[in-house]
Structure 1
Amino acid sequence: MSSPDEQEPLMKVGIIGLGNMGEQIAAAVLRAGIETRVYDVRPEAVAKLVDQGATGAASVRELAEAVDAVGVVVLNEQQVGEVAEEVAAAERRPGTLVVHSTVTPFYVKGLQNRLAEAGVDVVDAPVAGGVARARTGDLTVMVGGDDAVVAGLSPVFQAIGRDIFHVGPAGAGTAVKLAVNFMTIAGYALEIEAMEMVRAYGLTEDALSTVLTTSSADSRAVRRWGFHDRLRRQAPPGTEPAHLVMRKDVTSFAAAGGQAGLVLPLAAVTARTLLDTIGRRDRYLDDLGDVPPVPRCAACTQELIPPFREAGVHPECAA
């Protein structure tokens, strides 16, 4: 048996970007017993993780020089690029940059080529499941990257995710994430219009939701109608407005299709009309005034439509 001095050193991980998702991802990595350093432009966000046992960094470069892998959970490609430049310029560079942000496959591949010159591997590992699942380390993680590099990051992915899919080379995880986001966001826009139409004929949203659960239009989104409304309208101060993030993601999906030689007309229409659609939704909700909060599922904590309120749980959550 080897002595402790002969054992391989434990991985050191840095997380950059401590917003809604980044904070929870960093906390999950920390709970897994992985040495974690954190950085954000907001000192108070860093301090919150330091209180939980993380080590704070004063800059991206300082963090990069102290860890083996850097996880990036920032808003867009510009911010990812700024982080990547600092990582590449670090005197002691980490072995891997893990992009959790929602960007495009084309961007990830370009980033991979640029950082290869600095000896840094790039893995894209966007996540799905929202803040609630991030808080419990139960995210869906869609990973793209070299097999050996991804295998080496397994402790990190297991810390943050319940369902982990290594779907292909760098860029593949982002392609899947954009498809997931497009279906989610476009579905939300579709539901808003469906609700508008039935209300115009004197019906309630609860009435339509109840019927939908017995039809081929049933879905997880239908069963938690009101969830996206709440997330948008109760977002913490200082965070990027959810409707702008939604438009960015749909626009990125359409752009990714174009970069692959595809024409995606539904994505183009959704991107062009999304802000108006959500604006109408917000005006309707404002006109409702004070209404009781929608009951939530005891298991997943998301909204319950009428057929499931007596039981207090979604059928799929009770299974």
Structure 2
Amino acid sequence: MKIGFIGLGNVGGKLAGSLQRNGVDLAVHDLNADFVAAFVARGARDGGSAAALMQDCEAVITCLPSPAACAAVMAEMLPHVGPGKIWMEMSTTDADQIKAHADAVIAAGGEAVDCPVSGGCHRADTGNISIYAGCTRDTFDRVLPVLTHMGRRILHVGDVGVSSTLKVMTNYLATINLLSLCEALTVMKAAGMDLGVTYEAIAASSGNSFVHETESQLILSGSRDVNFTLDLVQKDVGLFQKLADDNNVPLELSPLMISMLTDGQNRYGERAQSDRMIERLEEATGLSITAAGFPTELVDDEPEERGYEVPVRG
């Protein structure tokens, strides 16, 4: 299967790299010509444009930073969609928009898959990230071999749009976990606790989480570079808030998170790294929330394995 990939940024570049590393027939496109050139130098083809990729490839994957970017790319590709063509959306974006684009693709005779990822850029880099796939079962069976080159655990969640809804929820949970860890680490430092010991105490406890095992390390090392920026966090939390509003769920934590994230953006820039949120508390207390022995970047030390479908209970 010839695969086109559009969007070679923080996540997309790593997912496309997994396809290339595993010998997939790959053509790429990005507004940043240097990103494209790097893939071409390693053997990929320059796709030229979104329209050309949909014409030339059986499946085109998009991994884009915003709903607006996705809409622009879809406008280029849609005239060239027909029987045998598959659109695979790996961005984290609005479920309603995904469903609208998918309906247009299906009406033109193509197939659509909503397949965002979860697990961090370091796991995207090794093909060990998790992927949610929303599509028909027949379409899922067709694209599963492609997905298993990019992710370890592949979950078929049902119809198009379900994946994006679930992904927004998981990013909301990751964000609230990050903000609570910032508070926990700062309070422990203020109380005279050793932060290295504090890290291990959390890791060995019921308070442990994926976010702690990853982002807390980058906070404590002082690098604060998780490769995920505050504008993307705000987008995801905002999408979760919109989902709650649309379904008449009165949230209390989400609006507070949005306010805190906005303050972080005002202080450090809209595209500051999300784990710089710790610096709001450092400034408020005069404390340094750092400790020796923690890495400045995350590396996935699990060996790369071909992915597999995750069974659903019940």
TM range (shorter): 0.7 to 0.9
Q: CA deviation at 1:279?
A: 5.9
Q: Which residue of 2 aligns with 1:257?
A: 244
Contact 1:28-1:160 at 8 Å conserved across structures: yes
Q: Kindly report which structure 2 residues correspond to 1:1-319, keeping only aligned pairs within 5 A, or say none.
A: 11-90=1-80, 95-227=85-217, 229=219, 233-234=224-225, 242-276=229-263, 281-282=278-279, 284=282, 288=288, 294-295=294-295, 300=300
Runs of 4+ in structure 1 off by over 6 angstroms are 91-94, 296-299
Equivalent pairs: percent with the same residue? 24
SS at match of 1:153: helix
**Could you tell me how far apart the structure 1 residues matched to 2:137 and 2:248 are?**
27
Q: Which residue of 1 aligns with 2:307?
A: none
**Could you tell me how far apart the structure 1 residues matched to 2:211 and 2:51 are?**
41
Q: Report the number of matched residues.
A: 288
Q: CA deviation at 1:289?
A: 11
Q: 1:165 to 1:247 in 2, by over 3 A?
A: same
Deviations 1:117-139 (A, max 9, x none): 33332211001122222222111
What CA RMSD, in Å, does the superposition of the two structures yield over aligned residues?
3.1
SS at match of 1:226: helix
Instruction: Compare CA radii of gyration and give the structure with the larger one.
Output: 1
Q: CA deviation at 1:218?
A: 2.6
Q: CA deviation at 1:91?
A: 7.7
Q: Which residue of 1 aligns with 2:267?
A: none
Q: CA deviation at 1:274?
A: 2.2
SS at match of 1:65: helix
Deviations 1:195-249 (A, max 9, x none): 233333344433433433444223333344534547984478xxxx612211111
> Amino acid of the residue matched to residue 196 of structure 1?
T
SS at match of 2:56: coil
Q: 1:36 to 1:85 in 2, by over 3 A?
A: same
Contact 2:12-2:63 at 8 Å conserved across structures: yes
**Could you tell me how far apart the structure 2 residues matched to 1:89 and 1:245 are?**
30
Q: CA deviation at 1:34?
A: 2.2
**Could you tell me how far apart the structure 2 residues matched to 1:109 and 1:15 are?**
20
Deviations 1:5-34 (A, max 9, x none): xxxxxx111000011211121121123332
Q: 1:84 to 1:228 in 2, by over 3 A?
A: farther
Q: 1:185 to 1:232 in 2, by over 3 A?
A: farther
**Could you tell me how far apart the structure 2 residues matched to 1:99 and 1:13 are?**
13
**Could you tell me how far apart the structure 1 residues matched to 2:86 and 2:248 are?**
30
Determine which structure has greater relative contact order: mean sequence separation of CA pairs < 8 Å that are 6+ residues apart, divided by chain length. Answer: 2
Q: Which residue of 1 aligns with 2:310?
A: none
**Could you tell me how far apart the structure 2 residues matched to 1:153 and 1:231 are?**
40
Deviates more, 1:42-51 or 1:249-258: 249-258
**Could you tell me how far apart the structure 2 residues matched to 1:107 and 1:228 are?**
34
SS at match of 2:11: helix
Deviations 1:158-186 (A, max 9, x none): 11011000011001111221121111111
Q: 1:232 to 1:76 in 2, by over 3 A?
A: farther
> Amino acid of the residue matched to residue 126 of structure 1?
P
SS at match of 1:20: coil
SS at match of 2:199: helix
**Could you tell me how far apart the structure 2 residues matched to 1:290 and 1:209 are?**
11
Deviates more, 1:47-56 or 1:107-116: 107-116
Q: CA deviation at 1:77?
A: 0.7
Q: 1:202 to 1:140 in 2, by over 3 A?
A: same
SS at match of 1:182: helix
Q: Which runs of 5+ in 2 are unaligned?
A: 265-274, 303-314
TM normalised by structure 2 equals: 0.80
**Could you tell me how far apart the structure 2 residues matched to 1:235 and 1:266 are?**
23
Q: CA deviation at 1:40?
A: 0.3
Q: 1:232 to 1:83 in 2, by over 3 A?
A: farther
> Amino acid of the residue matched to residue 246 of structure 1?
V
Q: Which runs of 5+ in 1 are unaligned?
A: 1-10, 303-319
Q: CA deviation at 1:256?
A: 2.1
